[in-house]
Amino acid sequence: MVMMESIMDIAQSETITGSTWRPLPLGRPLASTKPNKSSPLKEEIFKIVSPSTPGEVSSSEGSVSGDEFSDDSASTAPSDHSGELATIKMTPEIVIPEVLVEDTSVKAVDIRAPDVYDAHAPAASRLRYMIKNGGHIIKCPGVYDGLSARIAIDVGFEGMYMTGAGTTASRLGQADLGIAHLYDMRTNAEMIANLRPDGPPLIADMDTGYGGPLVVARSLQQYHISGVAGFHIEDQIMNKRCGHLAGKEVVDMDTYIQRIKACVVARAQLRSDIVIIARTDALQSKGFDDCIERLKRARDEGADMGILEGVKNKEQAALAARLLAPWPMCYNSVENGHSPLITAQEAQDMGYRIIIYSFASISPAYVAIKSTFEWLKETGSTGSSVAPKTIFNVCGLADSIVIDEASGGTAFAKGV
């Protein structure tokens, strides 16, 4: 069996170490650009939520909701508990990987963000800084459960993406046909986002928003309180399907824009920094020009980023980024899907700021599990060399030991 060779090659580790992930300082900000022209809706929202002085919005999290309110930075005050955290040591020493500070191929983008990177800020605020000021595209592997997310954190990715297709398959055992709803998606996102609240920001699939404007607003609220840093919402009909299947249908422009407006209003009421990513699946049925118009409308109503789903070729992907610049764009990389395989460097050169890999974990998991099960059925043994402690270590065993010992507990006094 071909896959068993790779499984047998996995190194067995008994050493308990902390996660290698740490918040990364991303260097000096790039040149800023002028903000989008304010829409009547945004001006009205500003009147509703503004305290007394224009441009100043308070927040219990030390951040504000988006570029529609102010050009001021989110608060970057250090956590009151930073001194306590500094006393806890974990081994081995963490080596922060080198991060590109400046790259001439990365173009300035128009999104409200803090001027200074704060590792203690909410995930949404950190994601905003990374989008605007990072010197390279943000690679977000698709994760669908706690283990895949833990592995992404352990490897050291700067961001993660909770795939809707993976969530539907893993939690419900169903195809991505709009079967998963708010409860399924929110509970999965909440679990993943809170494995390491100070870890890589999580972008989550929000499908169509799961209803009319009121339900869309509630969906944003639920994602916000769950710790999600950003999400994408699309223009498919409620009876939706994966963006890389044929036969997709989309709602009319006005209905789509209602969803975007509902997100913007809800975010304003929550004083949230959550990043709203407008996605359009209209390419199959409406054509490229209609997609660009939809994304422009979404941008003008307050969406922070855009996704043109299911692009047919690289030229189309590059043109979309160019036509919508300096508004930041996200590319959905789905290998063996409808769109061409575009590398992170190619997407960066086109002007994209985030690239998500929706099937990065669930596809290889399927191959490995199926191969192992076939081997087990044939031989009566899995052939795996991975010890239980290896999995537990990735899933935070060392952090649990630190908490127990620091609090005077004895749960691990007899060893692990």
Instruction: Please give the backbone phi and psi of residue 162, each rounded to the nearest 5 degrees, phi first.
Output: -85, 110
Of these ranges, 52-56, 79-83, 90-94, 344-348, the one predicted with the greatest mean pLDDT is 344-348
Mean pLDDT, residues 293-317 taken together: 96
User: Residue 146: enclosing H or E segment and its boundaries?
Assistant: helix 146-155
The neighbour count for residue 369, using CB atoms within 10 Å, is: 11
Distance CA 74, CA 64 (A): 6
Mean pLDDT, residues 172-188 taken together: 95
The answer to whether the beta carbons of residues 276 and 230 sit under 8 Å apart is yes
pLDDT at 28 over 80: no
**pLDDT at position 138:** 98
| Cα–Cα nearest to 62, from 21, 123, 131 | 123
Mean pLDDT lowest among 2-6, 243-247, 349-353: 2-6
Distance CA 73, CA 347 (A): 28
Where do the structural domains in the chain lie, given as residue ranges? 40-66+101-364, 385-416
**pLDDT at position 364:** 95
Architecture in CATH for domain 40-66+101-364: Alpha-Beta Barrel (3.20)
The answer to whether the beta carbons of residues 179 and 170 sit under 8 Å apart is no
Q: In terms of pLDDT, which residue wins out, 336 or 178?
A: 178
pLDDT at 5 over 60: no
**Which pTM was predicted?**
0.77
User: Residue 229: enclosing H or E segment and its boundaries?
Assistant: none
Half-sphere exposure for 304 (CA within 13 Å, toward CB): 30
How confident is residue 105, by pLDDT bands cut at 50, 70 and 90?
low
pLDDT at 86 over 50: no
**Angle of CA points 316, 320, 324, to nearest 5°:** 170
Share of the chain above pLDDT 90, in %: 68
- DSSP 8-state symbol, 141: E
Q: Which two tokens stand for residue 140?
A: 């977000």
**pLDDT at position 68:** 37
**pLDDT at position 106:** 62
The neighbour count for residue 381, using CB atoms within 10 Å, is: 9
Distance CA 19, CA 202 (A): 17
**pLDDT at position 204:** 98
Q: Cβ contacts of residue 231 below 8 Å, gap of 6+?
A: 203, 204, 205, 206, 220, 223, 274, 275, 276, 277
Mean pLDDT lowest among 27-41, 182-196, 262-276, 363-377: 27-41
How confident is residue 338, by pLDDT bands cut at 50, 70 and 90?
confident
pLDDT at 269 over 70: yes
How confident is residue 29, by pLDDT bands cut at 50, 70 and 90?
very low
pLDDT at 45 over 60: no
Q: In terms of pLDDT, which residue wins out, 59 or 136?
A: 136
**pLDDT at position 181:** 95
**pLDDT at position 11:** 37
Phi-psi region of 326 (alpha: psi -120 to 50; beta: other; left: phi over 0): alpha
Phi-psi region of 297 (alpha: psi -120 to 50; beta: other; left: phi over 0): alpha
**pLDDT at position 339:** 87
pLDDT at 281 over 70: yes
Alpha helices per DSSP H over 156-305: 164-167, 182-193, 213-225, 253-270, 283-286, 288-300
**pLDDT at position 247:** 78
Average pLDDT, the chain: 81
| Cα–Cα nearest to 161, from 328, 20, 330 | 330
CA distances from 264 to 204, 259, 275, 293, 407 (A): 17, 9, 10, 19, 43
* Amino acid in the structure at residue 328: P
Distance CA 389, CA 338 (A): 40
Q: Is 40 exposed, middle or buried (0-12, 13-18, 19+ CB in 10 A)?
A: exposed
| Cα–Cα nearest to 113, from 138, 95, 92 | 138
